[in-house]
Amino acid sequence: MPNFRVRRTLAAALLALPAAALPLAAQAADNYPSRPIRLVVPFAAGSGTDAVARITAKELGDALGQNVVVDNRPGANGAIAAELVAQAAPDGYTLFMTTNTTHSANPSLMKKLPYDPIKDFTPVARMGNLPFMLVINPKLPVKTVGELIAYAKAHPGMSYASGNSTGIVSGATLGRMANIDLLHVPYKSTPPAMTDVIAGQVPMMFVDVAAGIANVKAGKMRALAVTTAQRSRLLPDLPPIADTPELKGFDITSWNGVFAPAKTPQPIVDRLNRELSKIASSKEVAPKFEALGFEAFGQTPQQFTAFVGSELVKWNKLVKDAGIQPE
């Protein structure tokens, strides 16, 4: 009789195993989210990506019924933040709002990358584009890109600041296409770079509209052109840099999107994508994004995945064409 009881108890335990052995992540997806979410940003507070992240975090938190906390981790051209997210648990509670800096340009700009932009992440939602503009210290005696090129040729070694990969590549591309000698001055992030341009320590930089528009409107910096091939609908009076004869074909666009660590359960990814896509297309939120100069729109995870792959190829060519050597 005791042996029978043991066998019966053992059989019952074995029958219960399939349910007990369900992946914890899959079970957690049913109750997601049950605690606050961390949204990691690879740039400092005051950057364009940070500003977009804070609007997104508020809206996403309201939609999910949980706080979404922005966690700024600047440094190493975004690699510090990217590595942090790549190593985080794939449970949907650590997300990454980033740009082409970490997922398009860094693989070509850096010899050793502590993360893989494809294998270590799950694309969740592309949120839109961050148009960039060429700005200068207002005391510089130029009003157009053509005049800036002439000034730079008369003053070899003129410097430009950068706080991200788009700024690095745009400056190097300008120098190569216009055949001018420019000195690159890298910064940890955009805000301190802008501070030095405003102070006249560095005469120029390429900055995203979201981060720089307030200083341009205040007259602290002068905007000369946008880096996109077409005029931005948010800055219709600012010409494309490609309108300058020496820079015909110049077209560099920065994008913004949300990633999760690799192997994040698909139900969580789909839930996040639905909510983020609603935010990107919301008529109520649109004025907040437009005030930053952010062009918001949504993409499915599948569309975003394909886009990230194509951007790796594009930025590899941009970096090589600009003559930038990986460091």
Decide if 25-131+254-321 and 132-247 have a common fold.
yes
Binned average pLDDT, 10 residues per bin, the chain of 327 residues:
42 44 56 97 92 96 97 94 98 97 94 95 95 95 97 95 93 95 93 96 94 92 93 85 95 94 98 97 92 88 96 93 88
Q: What local confidence, expressed as pLDDT, does residue 2 receive? A: 43
- Name the residue ranges covered by the structural domains of the chain: 25-131+254-321, 132-247
Distance CA(260)–CA(55), nearest Å, equals: 19
Distance CA(137)–CA(222), nearest Å, equals: 6
Decide if 318 contacts 173 (C-beta within 8 A): yes
Q: What local confidence, expressed as pLDDT, does residue 320 receive? A: 92
Q: What local confidence, expressed as pLDDT, does residue 236 receive? A: 86
Q: What local confidence, expressed as pLDDT, does residue 21 receive? A: 38
Q: Of 132, 62, 67, which is closest to residue 95 (Cα–Cα)?
A: 67
Q: Give tens-digit pLDDT for 242-272.
A: 999 999 999 998 999 999 999 999 999 999 9
Decide if 134 contacts 175 (C-beta within 8 A): no
Q: What local confidence, expressed as pLDDT, does residue 23 receive? A: 53
Q: CATH says 132-247 is which class?
A: alpha beta
Q: What local confidence, expressed as pLDDT, does residue 232 receive? A: 80
Question: Which residues share a beta bridge with 70?
Answer: 39
What superfamily does domain 25-131+254-321 belong to in CATH?
Bordetella uptake gene, domain 1 (3.40.190.150)
